[in-house]
Amino acid sequence: MASAAAWGEVGRREAERPQGVGGRLHGGVVGVAAREWGARRMVRALK
């Protein structure tokens, strides 16, 4: 579960990192994907 939280944190930082428009879009997509993956891992760990 700790790794899932860490992935969520990484994703949030990626999404918030100041970049050019293309980089920000890509970072946002990666951030959202990492957050989604981390949330799924957390849900699976809690079951």
pLDDT in tens, 3-28: 777 777 777 776 666 655 555 555 56
Q: Inform me whether the pLDDT recorded for 37 exceeds 60.
A: yes
At residue 32, the pLDDT reads 78
**Is the pLDDT confidence value at 34 over 70?**
yes
Count of domains forming the chain: 1
SS3 29: helix
* Cβ-defined contacts of 25-34 (< 8 Å, 24+): 34/7, 34/8, 34/10
What is the Cα 13 distance to its own chain's centre? 8
Query: Which domain does 9 fall in, by range?
Result: 2-46
Q: Is pLDDT larger for residue 43 or for residue 1?
A: 43
- Model pTM? 0.36
* DSSP code, position 32: H
What does the pLDDT read at residue 40? 87
